[in-house]
Amino acid sequence: MTSTERFKTTICLYHNYLVHGMAIVILAQNMTVLSQQWHVSDAGVSLVISSLGIGRLLVLYLAGTFSDRLGRKLFVQIGILTYTLFFIGIIVSPNIIVAYFSGILAGMANSFLDSGTYPALMELYPKRQATANIMIKAFASIGELLLPIIVAGLDHFELWYGWSFLLCIFLMVANFIFLRLRDFPKLSTLPASNQDTTSTETASKPGLTLKKLTLGIVLTIFGYISMATFYLVSQWLTKYGSDVIHLNLVHARMLVSVYSVGSILGVVVTAVLVERIIKPVWFMLIDTIVSLLALLALTLIPTWGVALVSSFVIGCSAAGGVMQLGLTIMSDTFPRAKGRITGIYYTASGLASFTIPVFTAWISQYGIHDIMWFDVMIAVIGVICSIVVLGIGREKEVLQLKNVKEVKQPLWRF
């Protein structure tokens, strides 16, 4: 594949996540008008938003598994078409039932895109996998910033809310047409004969196999923890600012804006530093420690200045691409099943987006401050996972050096 063709394919893949970022917030940004359209309260619209998590969990693992067999391009195309159906479904839905099923389609579309895009990028850029995956977060964050501006403009000029949905439909359809002409790299899955050889070699190294299995379990847990850490902050930061720090609503909402800016900057910094200056396994540990310290400061010192700085730092660290780093490390550990690994990892993160609201709803009955202490506890588990991953990575390299006379490309270089 030529560098020009690789660039065109990459742009198509990132373009989808720009629209995905818009889709994440488009229901919340149009909550008032949608509640009127469906004849429900704001809580009803929130229920539809929760359906995205259900749709994501329904197909993610299977989509990842079949992506290894049927190809990445097919699932990216399915994701585009499913997202298009979601946007159309929300516009035409006369009640919350139709809207709920449309929300499930959005979750499924996200899973289809993930199962095809992450493995494809790792196969397009085998030497820069972490950077390629982290940039997905950057494009999604840009979409999350652009959509509220578009909705505010439509509202200011008293235009139909559906134009924001039609814009997303146009962007998806145009990208689907352009994507049909693009080439994708060959699957990294080995033929059956090679797999047999690999399994035989692996069986002779039981210590290495156990380390890989343990690493896979810990990274799957980290997929849940990393999602839970920043998802909880993004959902409760405004409420924490108003109820605990006693800010007015404008300043409380500003904390979320500062958090979002920190997230985008964090993605850029991570993409520049990772694999060039510091390896993903080390960056993962640094990010989790920094986010833990920022959460501690936010919880122990509930003041406006500390909250402002902490929100920015949490955005840079917890939401700055550390979740994508975990996926990259896990895919390096199991390089012949990138699609399935993506499915497993993001199923864990999907569980976080589905269960964390349940936990925090219960904790909120005791106090909003307790929710942040709960996030601190989650961040502590994230640091522990990072330390375990770093330790296993070192031990695994030692095992490889003992069992292989010549190691041309070790898994991690410290």
Instruction: Answer yes or no: is 95 within a domain.
Output: yes
How many domains, the chain? 2
CA 295, 300, 302, 303: dihedral to nearest 10 degrees? -100
pLDDT of residue 336: 79
Report phi then psi at 157, rounded to 5. -90, 10
pLDDT of residue 192: 41
Are residues 316 and 227 part of one domain? yes
Are residues 139 and 215 part of one domain? no
Are residues 156 and 260 part of one domain? no
Instruction: Answer yes or no: is 39 within a domain.
Output: yes
Are residues 63 and 11 part of one domain? yes
pLDDT of residue 65: 84
Q: How far is CA 347 from CA 64, 140, 224, 251, 274, in A?
A: 10, 19, 8, 35, 25
Are residues 208 and 174 part of one domain? no
Are residues 167 and 89 part of one domain? yes
Instruction: Answer yes or no: is 144 within a domain.
Output: yes
Instruction: Answer yes or no: is 346 within a domain.
Output: yes
Are residues 276 and 332 part of one domain? yes
Q: How far apart are the first and last CA of the chain?
A: 31
Are residues 229 and 169 part of one domain? no
Instruction: Answer yes or no: is 191 within a domain.
Output: no
Instruction: Answer yes or no: is 192 within a domain.
Output: no
Q: Which of 179, 213, 242 is the last residue of a domain?
A: 179
Are residues 38 and 97 part of one domain? yes
Instruction: Answer yes or no: is 56 within a domain.
Output: yes
pLDDT of residue 207: 52
Q: How confident is the prediction for the chain on average, in pLDDT?
A: 84
CA distance 238 to 370: 15
Full pLDDT tens readout for the chain, 414 residues: 788 899 999 999 999 999 998 998 888 778 889 989 999 887 688 778 778 888 888 888 888 888 888 889 999 999 999 999 999 999 999 999 999 999 999 999 999 999 999 999 988 998 888 888 888 988 988 888 788 888 888 988 989 999 999 999 999 999 999 999 888 887 765 444 444 444 444 444 555 588 888 899 999 999 999 988 987 887 788 788 888 999 887 788 788 778 878 888 888 888 888 867 888 889 999 999 999 999 999 999 999 999 999 999 998 988 778 888 898 888 888 887 878 888 889 889 888 877 887 788 788 888 889 999 999 999 999 999 999 999 887 665 544 545 544 444 443 443
Instruction: Answer yes or no: is 184 within a domain.
Output: no
Are residues 247 and 378 part of one domain? yes
Q: Which of 179, 214, 249 is the last residue of a domain?
A: 179
Q: What CATH number is given to the structural domain containing 33?
A: 1.20.1250.20
Are residues 175 and 263 part of one domain? no
The whole domain housing 357 covers 201-403
Are residues 299 and 226 part of one domain? yes
Q: How many Cβ atoms sit within 10 Å of the Cβ of residue 99?
A: 26
